[in-house]
Structure 1
């Protein structure tokens, strides 16, 4: 698919930039498949218990590697409270490299207390829609409706404008479409 997305390029013909100056079809084949794959951003998805575990005694991660398990230190600024395994249950871990440093995304779940009606001070219900963008109602009987007519008008205007520009098909029309 990528081979046929841009089959043309501007051919100058010479190395100095001066030449034929025409759009020419370039031949592309699949020889690039013989090159090794280079990943732009290194990342791993690890499963708890199999690929990684947390050692609370030493505050380290134990990671499964090709050379056996490795224990690594990590910095956890402001999230130390979430490493308590009595309250939180850990799940999968994603490691990714960004600007020479490794970062982890750790999924964790915990149980929260059930909702009690006495805790609620003020209840508001919000319903989203098309004709009215939002309809709000509270327990005191007060309601607010937010009309969507202006947005519908704007959608119709730009839909009509896009259709006209696409039908025209000129270079400046395509430029305008891209800008819109």
Structure 2
């Protein structure tokens, strides 16, 4: 049995290397937004090959992306529009159900296609062996617009052991954490695990997740445990009230405060989910 893990590696980059990574991530974001506009003009096209044939030359000659990045951008945009088409179909199906229950109900239009999908975050997708690779001295080499940048990295010890022991790695994502002004490489790692055998398990646990109770756990011995979400929901509501107040102000300082608040909210949710798991 194979399981895929995501190893988060902190890149120890110099100032010059960070500038090269900045240039690559910003150019890739520009490429995604340009490709998104072209896909929108092509009747919200979700075919990666068709989109690539339209934008590849522009991405290479005008934006200056390497060939592999110029192929990755259309695939990411196509996946985004496929998701929007799925949401659109689900939306229309729900509206038909409501019309059947409420005669005279005016169906609401799907707003996901009012404008081209916009990409904001500074992330960059790498393909192993083409855009990034491991060096024999324990460093990683990543592709930028200014050539390859070789740097050391840090991470969770068990993840590092898996990488250095030759575990199969796949695509990676270059991620920029604005609060720390630091780049991370998120690498997918495949791990071989022995297949579970019926005799290895003496008890089976079922988990039902929700909002009022984040989790309800029951096992085959009729033991049950409830994890209430009341306190966490109160904190989330508090975040929502503060965000709504800041959004109404619309000042530059309020925008900066919103960015910091979103980071706090994300960390809070991640911490609660981790503690619950």
Report TM bin, short chain.
0.3 to 0.5
TM-score, structure 1 as length reference: 0.44
TM-score, structure 2 as length reference: 0.31
Q: Which has the higher contact order (CA 8 A, sep 6+)?
A: 2
Point out the structure with the larger helix share: 2
Larger radius of gyration: 1
Point out the structure with the larger strand share: 1
